[in-house]
Amino acid sequence: MRKWYKYFLDPLRRGRIYLPIDSNFYDHEKAMGGYKADDAYLSKSTFFNKYFWGYHIIGRLGCYDNFLRKHLKKDKDILSIASGRCANELFLIEDGYKITCSDLKVFDSYKETKTLFPQFDFVEHDILNGPFFLKYDAVICLSLIYLFNEEKLLTFFRNVSDSLKTGGHLILDSAGSTDNLMSYLIH
């Protein structure tokens, strides 16, 4: 089993500063910069400019989007696990993909997100506690599993498998970082 390390670069101190792996939704929310509503929620355009394009004009979210569009079909039922703010998913939903987003908790800006994107579906669910009540053609999970030890990882895969229709598939990315200037420059 690969061991993951979480650290950041501090220009004022030499060396790496190791951080503990996020142990709950609130730790992860904080590590990802928070999910509160702000002036980006004035329109779909301002939302995507900040949370989809932002530091990611040629970065991670654009790479995800290109890959997802090549491997997902608009007429299929898609589940996103650990969706966070749901920027990638909302960008696809705007183009006609049928995606249900999920996370451990309803995020702070859910109401504002639902106002901007009325077709947006969100389910509060912990995949480690069991499979979803519906079955999906595809499951996407971006930047989550680095938080899991071997036991949780096995539970994750078992419950995802039980959440997929026969012949369904999982699109998985293992690592994630905070959306900020430093992660953009490193990318």
Residue-wise pLDDT tens digits, 100-114: 999 999 988 999 999
CA distances from residue 142 to 80, 81, 135 in whole angstroms, order as listed: 8, 8, 19
Q: Is the pLDDT of residue 14 over 80?
A: no
Confidence at residue 86, expressed as pLDDT on a 0 to 100 scale: 93
Region of residue 66 (left: phi > 0; alpha: psi -120 to 50; beta: else): alpha
Going 59 to 65 to 66 to 68, the CA torsion angle's sign is positive
pLDDT average, residue stretch 51-75: 83
pTM score, two decimals? 0.81
pLDDT average, residue stretch 26-49: 84
The pair of three-digit structure tokens given for residue 121, joined into one six-digit string: 């579906």
Q: Is the pLDDT of residue 132 over 60?
A: yes
Distance CA 89, CA 144 (A): 15
- Nearest-5° angle of CA 29, CA 31, CA 32? 65
Confidence at residue 173, expressed as pLDDT on a 0 to 100 scale: 86
Distance CA 40, CA 4 (A): 33
The pair of three-digit structure tokens given for residue 149, joined into one six-digit string: 């030890």
Confidence at residue 153, expressed as pLDDT on a 0 to 100 scale: 92
CB 132 within 8 A of CB 109: no
Tokens 């599993």, located at residue:
145
User: Hey, which bits of 29-150 come out as E strands?
Assistant: 77-81, 98-103, 121-124, 136-142
Confidence at residue 181, expressed as pLDDT on a 0 to 100 scale: 55
Q: What is the pLDDT of residues 160-179, one digit of tens each?
A: 999 999 999 999 987 655 55
pLDDT average, residue stretch 146-164: 93
* Domains defined for the chain, CATH in brackets: 23-186 (3.40.50.150)
Q: Is the pLDDT of residue 187 over 50?
A: no
pLDDT average, residue stretch 62-82: 94
- Compute the mean pLDDT over every residue in the chain, rounded to the nearest whole number: 84
Residue 41: closest CA among 33, 31, 51:
51
Beta-bridged to residue 6, according to DSSP, are 19
pLDDT average, residue stretch 36-40: 88
Distance CA 21, CA 121 (A): 29
Tell me which amino acid residue 106 is.
V
